[in-house]
């Protein structure tokens, strides 16, 4: 397997450090708009076999990406950029007839008249609309295979196959007790993506209603996270799992709630009130055009560089309620990562490392033919046990708590 990794930010760099310890691929080209960043990602890995190289590419230019795929003879494109570039990279991979893997799906657009009741364009709609094209070419687009979405979706399929006869609700719950020394406000993940998913209308699935939306930060609840994290208030947030899980797993209801904290929520609300969450460009007095959201991102510290000042753990998991053998059952399947451990073992902070490990595991399963298919598929479309077993082999065990 030859892999073109597009994006050498925090997640992309963590991917190289994880993949360098595995033997399933022949070569990985690490590409970024900033060549120096791609070169730094390659330089940071132990590469005695010379399996890594760097390149410059504009992720928004499908023709440039196709040219690099051809020149590097890659048969898989792994997208580690933010969601703005999904459609361009997805298009380039399809046109080049290579497999495609991403961790976030094509962007949504709220309903023009009823944004907090009805869906407009949903996350991933642009990708699923081209599923038949991928099937005709016999190529796979494995979408949403980070930690959330990704591992959380594997948990959902595992619960349906092995733990439940009937499922009432699948609720993804994400929380942490991470702190960052020296910063009053320092998101542990891309603020561009965080703004997108937190300020868009959250989507909920119900079997008798389909997909519908609510207001941002709605339906707060306190969830008790394992391994010392403890109770965290979680709220509805737009996320891909709600759009993916119902396509392959039978459940009466699917939700996603994120533990943001009141201070974080109020900061996001303020950015929205000031128009600083906008992506369309505004013109400054000197004629310069800038995107307010890009300015916010530029003013904040790089999440990938915060690891040495971060303390605590992060948890991603899937809370499932239903019946087994005629009796009510409730479990939480989860993955907890300690920032101290990821920094010591990989030099990557916990949140980006937890995101990065899952596409590498998926690529290994694809390389060995354990996972295979064509079309546009989520992790729910594949057998979950091989993924969970391999995750343990990578030194990142998962847990199960009966509620």
- Reported as a single tens digit per residue, the pLDDT across 78-131 is 999 999 999 999 999 999 999 999 999 999 999 999 999 999 999 999 999 999
Contacts of 35 (CB under 8 A, 6+ apart): 54, 55, 56
How far apart CA 336 and CA 355 sit, in angstroms, is 12
> d(Cα 215, Cα 74) in Å, to the nearest integer?
42
Determine the average pLDDT of the residues in 337-347: 96
Indicate the DSSP class of residue 146. Answer: B
Per-residue pLDDT averaged across 179-196, rounded? 77
Q: pLDDT tens-digit profile of 199-240?
A: 899 999 999 999 999 999 999 999 999 999 999 999 999 999
% of the chain residues with pLDDT over 70:
100
Q: How far from the centroid of its chain's Cα atoms is residue 19's Cα?
A: 17
Query: Dihedral angle at the C-alpha atoms of 66, 72, 73, 77, nearest 10 degrees?
Result: -60
CA-to-CA distance for 396 and 282, rounded, in angstroms?
A: 44
> Which residues are bridge partners to 337 per DSSP?
314
Residue 189 has a pLDDT of 67
Determine the 3-state secondary structure of 241 from DSSP: helix
Q: Are 270 and 224 in contact (CB under 8 A)?
A: no
Q: What is the pLDDT of residues 240-299, one digit of tens each?
A: 999 999 999 999 999 999 998 778 888 888 988 889 888 889 998 888 999 998 898 888
Q: Tell me the β-bridge partners of 124.
A: none
* Signed CA dihedral, 376, 16, 178, 271: sign only: negative
Q: How far apart are CA 156 and CA 65, in angstroms?
A: 34
Backbone angles phi, psi at 279, to 5 degrees: -100, -25
Rounded average pLDDT over 55-70:
98
């Amino acid at each position: 397997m030859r892999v073109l990794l597009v994006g050498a930010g925090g997640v992309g760099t963590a991917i190289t450090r994880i993949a360098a310890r595995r033997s399933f691929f022949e070569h990985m080209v690490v590409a970024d708009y900033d060549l120096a960043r791609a070169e730094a990602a390659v330089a940071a890995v132990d590469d005695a076999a010379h399996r890594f190289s760097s390149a410059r590419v504009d992720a928004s230019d499908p023709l440039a990406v196709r040219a690099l795929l051809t020149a590097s003879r890659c048969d898989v494109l792994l997208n580690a950029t933010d969601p703005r570039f999904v459609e361009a990279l997805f298009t380039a991979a399809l046109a080049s007839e290579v497999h495609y893997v991403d961790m976030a799906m094509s962007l949504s657009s709220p309903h023009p008249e009823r944004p907090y009741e009805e869906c407009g364009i949903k996350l991933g709609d642009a990708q699923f609309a081209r599923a038949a094209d991928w099937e005709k070419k016999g190529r796979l687009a494995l979408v949403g295979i980070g930690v959330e979405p990704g591992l959380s979706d594997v948990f959902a399929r595992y619960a349906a196959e092995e733990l439940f006869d009937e499922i009432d609700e699948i609720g993804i719950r994400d929380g942490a007790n991470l702190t960052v020394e020296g910063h009053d406000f320092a998101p542990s993940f891309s603020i561009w993506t965080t703004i997108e998913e937190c300020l868009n209308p959250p989507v909920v699935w119900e079997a008798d209603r389909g997909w519908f939306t609510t207001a941002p930060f709605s339906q707060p609840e306190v969830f008790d996270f394992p391994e010392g994290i403890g109770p965290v208030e979680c709220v509805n947030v737009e996320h891909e799992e709600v759009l993916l899980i119902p396509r392959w797993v039978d459940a009466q209801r699917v939700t996603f709630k994120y533990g943001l904290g009141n201070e974080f929520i109020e900061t996001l609300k303020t950015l929205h009130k000031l128009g600083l969450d906008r992506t369309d460009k505004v013109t400054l007095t000197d004629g310069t055009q800038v995107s307010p959201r890009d300015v916010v991102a530029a003013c904040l510290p790089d999440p990938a560089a915060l690891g040495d000042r971060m303390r605590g753990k992060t948890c991603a998991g899937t809370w499932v309620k239903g019946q087994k053998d005629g009796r009510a059952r409730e479990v939480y399947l989860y993955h907890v990562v300690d920032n101290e451990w990821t920094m010591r073992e990989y030099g990557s902070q916990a949140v980006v490392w937890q995101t990065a490990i899952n596409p590498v595991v998926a690529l290994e399963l694809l390389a060995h033919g354990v996972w295979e298919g064509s079309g546009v598929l989520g992790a729910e479309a594949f057998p979950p046990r091989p993924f969970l077993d391999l995750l343990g082999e990578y030194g990142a065990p998962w847990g199960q708590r009966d509620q």
